[in-house]
Amino acid sequence: MYNGKYAAAVITAGGTGTRMGAPVPKQFLYVGGKTILQRTAERFSGQGVFDRIVVTLPEAQLEEGRDILNGAGIPADVLAGGKSRQDSVWNALRHLQGSGFPEDGLVLVQDGVRPYTEDSTIEDVLRKTEKFGAAIAAIPSVSTVRHITDGTLDRSKLYSVQTPQGFRFSLLVRAFEAAARDGFLGTDEAGLVERVGVLPEIAAGTPSNIKITTPEDLQKMSGEIRIGTGFDVHRLVEGRKLILGGVEIPYEKGLLGHSDADVLVHALMDAMLGAAALGDIGKLFPDSDPAYAGADSMKLLARVTEVLAEHGFRLGNADMTVICQRPKLAAHIPEMRSRIAVVIGVPEERISVKATTTEKLGFTGSGEGIAAEAVCTIVG
Ligand code: MG
């Protein structure tokens, strides 16, 4: 383990990530139950060698970022970034200057949306930066690259650049001052340091050290698939509406319960919560709570979807079976699927609803009640 000079990690998460097409900036998207920002910061806080961690975020996201990092017990200074990555890093460097960070300390700059950097990469960057003054994570190029006038380039001399990029603090400040003086805007810190005559060493990156830029990147990295099951029964009584899958079904009886007693949606919610090991609907919406008297179960389903999202999960697919002798349900199934899909925010083809009888056997067969079971996957 590196045990040398003062070290700081500067994590830049200034972007709004418009290429993701997501409603939140990509650093706040979840992968496997944690935000990308938290995962990235943990790569550095977990090393135990960084004396300072500075995170830059868009002004509007400062509070959310602080909450996430504090919640995860990551001691970071969270600052507003600038218009460009270069402005953001410059803000962070001035912050380090203002707080007495030593000139011969090491500063590693990391993309805030690169959450899978290996410990070995961080350590190699630290060691080489200490020895040579500048070192950047990179991997040998696997693509054949062609220069528009020079033809095919010698692949053995080509590297794909990643982060972290490490620099002696005084060198990095000098490079930024020179860039500011000349009005030069670079794509990364290495480019600025080269302008003042220092060619960074190559440290060992890994192919998995990707920068999450597009929805496909996120899909590639979404690791976990979980399965949950749910089961529910409600009694059929006179004087109640029969609601199944959010659809009111004409029948002489309805299901008895504290809420609207939508047995199918209850089984589904329990499957979703079960997959995330978050208990069941009884725990989330206690029937002792008058707030849920007569509650629309579709609203509860929307809440369950939210709770899952808060824990970094979304529904993959669901398959449900209603067990019921009467009434016949086939004609209502398309509408149930469609309503459930809309509330959860998934395509209809991921929601399956089936109905069966029990050949007049048991409590469902005699018409005393209706049962439902559900199986679903959730993806983290
Ligand atoms: Mg129930």
> What pLDDT does residue 15 have?
62
Model-wide pTM > 0.75: no
Q: Would you write out the chain's pLDDT as a tens digit for each of its 380 residues?
A: 566 779 999 999 876 555 555 556 778 877 766 889 999 999 999 888 999 999 999 998 999 999 999 999 999 999 999 889 999 999 999 999 999 999 999 999 999 999 989 999 999 999 999 999 999 999 998 888 888 888 888 888 899 999 999 999 999 999 999 999 999 999 999 999 999 999 999 999 998 898 988 777 776 665 678 999 999 999 999 999 999 999 999 999 999 998 999 999 999 999 999 999 999 999 999 888 888 888 999 999 999 998 888 787 889 999 999 999 999 999 999 999 999 999 998 889 999 999 999 999 999 999 999 999 999 999 87
> Which pLDDT score, from 0 to 100, does residue 366 have?
96
Ligand 1 centroid distance, CA of 270 (Å):
9
Question: Kind of pairing, strands 159-168 and 247-249?
Answer: unpaired
What is the predicted pLDDT for the residue at 22? Answer: 56
Report pLDDT for 326. Answer: 93
Q: Which residues surround ligand 1, an ion (CB under 5 A)?
A: 232, 266
What is the C-alpha separation between 183 and 177, in angstroms, rounded? 10
Question: Residue 228 region, left (φ>0) first, then alpha (ψ -120 to 50), else beta?
Answer: beta
CA of 299 to the centre of ligand 1 (A): 14
Which domains can be identified in the chain, with CATH numbers?
7-221 (3.90.550.10), 225-379 (3.30.1330.50)
36: its two tokens: 């990308």
Alpha-carbon gap, residue 94 to 185, rounded angstroms: 18
Cis-peptide, bond into residue 327, ω within 30° of zero: yes
Tokens for 204?
């060992």
Distance 279 CA to ligand 1 centre (A): 14
**What is the structure's pLDDT at 310?**
77
**4: enclosing H helix or E strand:** none
pLDDT of residue 139: 94
SS3 243: strand
pLDDT given for residue 290 in this prediction: 87
Q: What does the pLDDT read at residue 162?
A: 96
How many other C-beta atoms can be found within 10 angstroms of the C-beta atom of residue 207? 11
Q: For residues 232 and 267, is the Cβ–Cβ distance under 8 A? A: yes
Q: For residues 262 and 340, give the distance between their C-alpha atoms in angstroms, rounded to a whole number.
A: 12
Task: Using the mean position of ligand 1's atoms as its centre, give its distance from the Cα of residue 333 in Å.
Answer: 19
- Cα(318) to centroid of ligand 1, in Å? 18
- For 312: left if phi > 0, alpha if psi spans -120 to 50, otherwise beta; the answer is left
HSE (side-chain half, CA atoms, 13 Å) at 178 = 15
